[in-house]
Amino acid sequence: MRALLSAYDRTGLVEFAKELASAGFELISTGGTANELKSAGLEITEVADVTGAPEILDGRVKTLHPRIHGGLLGKRSNPAHIEEMKQQGIEGIDVVVNNLYPFQQTIANPNATLDDALENIDIGGPAMTRAAAKNFPDVVIIVDPSDYERIGEMIVSDAGVSQDERRGLAAKAFQHVAAYDTLISAYLRESEATSEDKTALFPEEITFGWRRVAVPRYGENPHQAGGIYATPGETGGIVNARQLHGIDMSYLNYFDADAAWVAVNSFGVADKHCVAVVKHANPCGLAIDTDQAEAYRKAYAGDTMSAFGGIVGFNNIVTAETAIAMKGVLYDVIVALGYEPEALEILQKRRRTRVLEVALSDTPLLNVRNVTGGALVQQPDDIAEVAADWKVVTKKSPTEQQLADMAFAWKACQLVHSNAIVFAKDSMLKGMGAGQPNRAISVYLAGRAAGDDASGCVMASDAYFPFPDGIENAAKAGAVAVVQPGGSVKDGEVIEAADRLGLVMLFTGTRHFFH
């Protein structure tokens, strides 16, 4: 029996190799893996001694040889294979341990060059792993150190490693290589992110090499299973958050917490405090202020009833004053860049509330949504328009304060599910309408949520108004200004209604649906 060991991540490998050796396996290895195993007192056969050929091209070619791949791919149940292996002097390899060069770690270094990246693209490793996985009925392939103990016990047992177990290990190995290749492909496509040709972002074939980080008790509903996955190389964002307190995160906790985190970090107001209260992925409270506790109080006041059992997010480190201001309100999750020690001590008195410390993350290059038969893939929606470039289409022009409120409302509108309507005043969300098939109904709901506070508000709409009724509902609720994309065939009638009602209205020229 022979085992081929060649791994970059050698966690637990020496102990596993000793177990194989005690079970009578001849150990074959190469390079740094061989040196580490020899240093542990193990007897190792070098790959070069098996192949009769030295490593060449600075180690680029080591295991790519018939005496290695023939030993991996020869079917033990095929007499012709066995005879040919004997004629070629090829011995079978029964166990392979392999994981790949640190490509992800290499490109994570901001100083890494293209040559650095290319030199860390493993060739022999994936070929060896795939060969062993293809022939899994005869070869056990292990790519994950966490499998050593379990598989080791099976190997030395009388029963051995079952076919079902071998098949599962092979599937894991192919996925390991697929994720690795996905990472390389994404790196080589990076220059296409700035290409003027938008189709360059979408190759004919595309994969996403996500890595599982958690399995919650269930998915969106108790009868659905769910999993949480991280993007390779990404260390920020909700998926990679550090949980400082509270019970385990649920599937929907992740979903809603992400909505809160995106909301508070989407305004680009690092010199101010942004606070969002989210319920069912929609911000029911949102505010900006120079004082964090005040920003929280404003956000909470946006919808005190819906805030119960919701998610609250902060774009800065939570202070003790803010933690005290939150007293008496039940939140499922709190997300922030960090927490003052006293603030964390206060929040940890909440028995169930999950307290997450989240690092900033890169904007994903592509957003993916599954549909029947495939997936929809697009660039993220990024509001980059400047309010000064918007077009005033009514007889009345906005005041400086109204323009500032419209800029806030327009950004907030991007965070609300379509058809989205936002009422806002003084950098504070006063009411919103979301997910309605009729835009006029969204206006009515936003105005009703704002109540008496709707008086003097500005209103933002994520898409144009096809009829004047939405504008009429806004004025009836108390709005004094409207910002919307424009572009309806009935824009003239909508503008006429705004003038008749004494409203200010601006067109941005850009739609921001969020389904």
Are residue 108 and residue 151 in the same domain, yes or no? yes
pLDDT at position 292 is 96
Q: How far apart are CA 59 and CA 41, in angstroms?
A: 24
Residue 327 appears among annotated catalytic residues: no
Catalytic residue among 18, 134, 396, 490: 134
Extract the tokens encoding 62: 């080591």
In a domain, 334, yes or no: yes
Confidence band of 64 (pLDDT split at 50, 70, 90) = confident
Instruction: Write out pLDDT tens, residues 86-115.
Output: 988 888 999 999 988 788 888 888 888 888
* Separation of alpha carbons 367 and 79, rounded Å: 51
Q: What is the longest distance spanned by two Cα atoms in the chain?
A: 95
Confidence at residue 331, expressed as pLDDT on a 0 to 100 scale? 96
Q: pLDDT tens digit string along 366-420?
A: 888 888 899 888 888 876 666 778 999 999 999 999 999 999 999 999 999 989 9
Instruction: Decide if 488 contacts 511 (C-beta within 8 A).
Output: no
Query: Can you give the pLDDT at residue 101?
Result: 79
Whether 159 and 30 share a structural domain: yes
* Spatial separation of the C-alpha atoms in residues 345 and 350, rounded to whole Å: 10
Helices 13-22 and 31-39: crossing angle in degrees, nearest 10, is 70
Reported as a single tens digit per residue, the pLDDT across 124-154 is: 889 999 999 999 999 999 999 999 989 988 8
**Confidence check: pLDDT of 481 > 90:** yes
Which amino acid is present at 144?
D
**What is the residue whose two structure tokens read 């609300």?**
416
Residue 404 and residue 280 share a domain: no
Residue 217 lies in a domain: no
What is the structure's pLDDT at 442? 94
**pLDDT band (50, 70, 90) for residue 339:** very high
Asked if residues 336 and 358 have their Cβ atoms less than 8 Å apart, the reply is: yes
Query: 254 and 133 in one domain?
Result: no
Q: What is the per-residue DSSP string for 471-491?
A: HHHHHHHT--EEEE----TTH
The last residue of a domain, from among 151, 166, 188 = 188
**Are 353 and 411 within one domain?**
no
Cα–Cα distances in angstroms (integers) from residue 61 to residues 48, 57, 133, 172, in the given order: 11, 6, 20, 25
Determine the Cα–Cα distance for residues 328 and 326; give it in Å rounded to an integer: 6
Contact 14, 152 (CB under 8 A): no
What's the pLDDT score for residue 49? 83
- Kindly report which listed range (11-20, 181-190, 304-313, 493-502) carries the lowest average pLDDT score: 181-190
> For 301-305, what is the mean pLDDT?
92
Residues 141, 125: contact at Cβ < 8 Å?
no
- Which candidate, 336, 331, 5, places its Cα nearest to that of 140? 5
> Same domain for 485 and 404?
yes
Q: What does pLDDT average to over the chain?
A: 90
| Count of domains for the chain | 3
Residue 178 lies in a domain: yes
Q: Single out the catalytic residue among 75, 81, 280, 396.
A: 280
Distance of CA 436 to the CA centre of its chain: 28
In the chain, the N- to C-terminal Cα span, in Å, equals: 57
HEC profile of 152-218: HHHHHCCCCCCHHHHHHHHHHHHHHHHHHHHHHHHHHCHHHHHCCCHHHHCCCCCCCCCEEEECCCC
Percent of the chain residues past pLDDT 70, beyond the cut: 97
**pLDDT over threshold 70, residue 194:** no
Domain limits for position 117: 2-188
Whichever domain contains 22, its CATH number is: 3.40.50.1380
Q: What is the pTM of this model?
A: 0.83
Q: Output the pLDDT for position 46.
A: 86
Are 450 and 330 within one domain?
Answer: no
Rounded percentage of the chain residues whose pLDDT exceeds 90 = 59
Report if residue 197 sits inside a domain.
Answer: no
User: Could you give the 3-state DSSP secondary structure of residue 361?
Assistant: coil
12: in domain: yes
**392 and 503 share a domain?**
yes
Q: Is 279 in the same domain as 182? A: no
- CATH number of the domain enclosing 498: 3.40.140.20
**Region 476-483: what's the mean pLDDT?**
96
Last-in-domain residue among 160, 188, 216: 188
d(CA 337, CA 359): 6
In a domain, 239, yes or no: no
Determine, yes or no, domain membership for 512: no
Q: Which pLDDT value is given to residue 203?
A: 78
Treating both helix axes as pointing N-terminal to C-terminal, what angle do 163-188 and 124-134 enclose, rounded to 10 degrees?
Answer: 150
Could you tell me if 15 and 124 lie in one domain?
Answer: yes
Please identify, among 357, 379, 395, the residue that sits at the C-terminal boundary of a domain: 357
pLDDT (tens digit, 9 = 90+) per residue, 17-39?
Answer: 998 998 889 999 888 888 888 98
In a domain, 219, yes or no: no
User: Hey, how many other C-beta atoms are within 10 angstroms of the C-beta on 425?
Assistant: 22
Per-residue confidence (pLDDT) for residue 206, from 0 to 100: 83
280 labelled catalytic: yes
Both 295 and 408 in one domain: the answer is: no
Same domain, 34 and 178: yes
Q: Is 424 helix (H, G, I), strand (E, B) or coil?
A: strand
79 Cβ contact partners less than 8 Å away, ≥ 6 residues apart: none
**How many angstroms separate the CA atoms of 480 and 499, rounded?**
11
Q: What is the pLDDT of residues 442-467, one digit of tens each?
A: 999 999 999 999 999 999 999 999 99
The answer to whether residue 195 scores a pLDDT higher than 60 is no
Instruction: Examine the pLDDT at 342 and tell me if it is beyond 90.
Output: yes
Q: How confident is the model at residue 192 (pLDDT cuts 50, 70, 90)?
A: low
